[in-house]
Amino acid sequence: MGFGVLEKGARVTMRVAIQGKDAIARMVTSAWKGTQAIARRCGSAIGGFWSSLQLGRIFRRVGLPIWVLVGLAIASLIVDNLLKLLELAIRYFLATTPIPTPKDYLVHFIMIVVGLGLIVVMSLGFKLRRPLTQGRFISDGLTQPDGKKGLILLVSNPNSAMFSIEYHYETKRTLATVWLIPSDESQLIKFGGSSQDKAQEIQQRCEQLSMNLQKSDASNNRPTLPPLQVTLLKGVSPADAQETFSTVNKIYRQSHYSADEIAADFTGGTKPMSVGMIMACLKRDRVLEYVSYNKGQSFGPYIIDYQHSAFDLIS
C-alpha cells in the first residue's frame, strides 16, 4: 500500500512538473511575442519621429546630404588623431616633459583604426544592402524587375498602370497589394482636374483581372492567386513634389513588406509627382520602374537603376 501511495504521489508530482513546464513555456513564448511587438512599435515610432524631423530635407536644402556629414565626421576623427600622433612624436624627439608613453600612442592608433573600420563597414553595407541588379536583362540591355509583392503607382494613364500590374500579378504571379496615388484638384487651372476617376477605373479593372485570373487558374488546375488588395490613397497636389515624397515614404514605412519587395512605378502622374517618388526612392533598397509607351503600345516595366553611380553618397 505504501508503495502505491508513493507511485501515485510520483505521478502527481510528474504531472505538476509537466504542467509547470508547459506554463513556463507559454509564459516565455508570450513574453517573447510581447517583446517583439513592443520592439516593432518602438521601431515604427522612432522611424516616424526621425521622418518628422525631416533632417534629410534640411541637409538637401543646404546642399549637404547626410552621408557627406557622416564622412566629414569620420575624416575629422582620423585627421585629428593623426595630428595628435605627430604632436607626440615631436614631443618625444624634443624630449619635452611629460615624455609620451607607448599608451599615449596606442590610444590615437586605436581611434584611427576605428575611423578606418567605420569607412570599411559603411562601404560594405552600401554594397550589400542591394544587389547590383534586381531583375533580368533583355536583348536591348534594359532590365525588367523581379516580381514584387507590392506596387506603388502614380495615376494618370490607366493602360500603362494595368500593364505594370499585369506584369507583376499575372506574369510573375507575385503581386498582392497595389497602392494608387492620384492627383487632387488643388491646381485645377494649371494641371487640370483630379485623377481620382482614373484611379477608380484602375481599381475596378484590378478586380476584374483577379476574377479572370482565378477562373483561368481553376480551369487549368493551377494554384489560384488571392484577389489583389488595391488601396486608393488620398489625392496629392500635382504641383508639390514634397507631398508625393511624403506619401511614398509613408507607404514604405507602414507596409509589412520589406523595401525590396515593393516596386514604385512613376510612369503616371505629373512631373512634380514623379520627382517626389524618385526622391523617396533614392535609398538603395527601393526599386523604381517605369512603363515605356509608344504609339499605343506599352513595353516593360523597366528598372531605373541609378543608385549605384551618381547617387552613392545619398541614402
CA–CA distance, 196 with 232 (Å, rounded to integer): 9
**pLDDT tens-digit map of 19-48:** 666 667 677 677 777 776 777 677 666 666
Mean pLDDT (the chain, rounded): 78
Longest alpha-carbon distance in the chain: 99
Q: How many CA atoms lie within 13 A of 224 on its CB side?
A: 13
Tell me the pTM: 0.57
d(CA 166, CA 301): 10
> How do strand 177-181 and strand 150-154 relate by DSSP bridges?
parallel
Query: Letter for the amino acid at 116?
Result: L
**What is the SS3 string spanning 129-197?**
CCCCCCEEECCCCCEEECCCCEEEEECCCHHHHHHHHHHHHHHCCCCCEEEEECECCCCHHHHCCCCHH
- CA gap 304, 145 in Å, rounded: 10
pLDDT single digits (tens) 245-274: 999 999 999 999 998 899 999 998 899 999
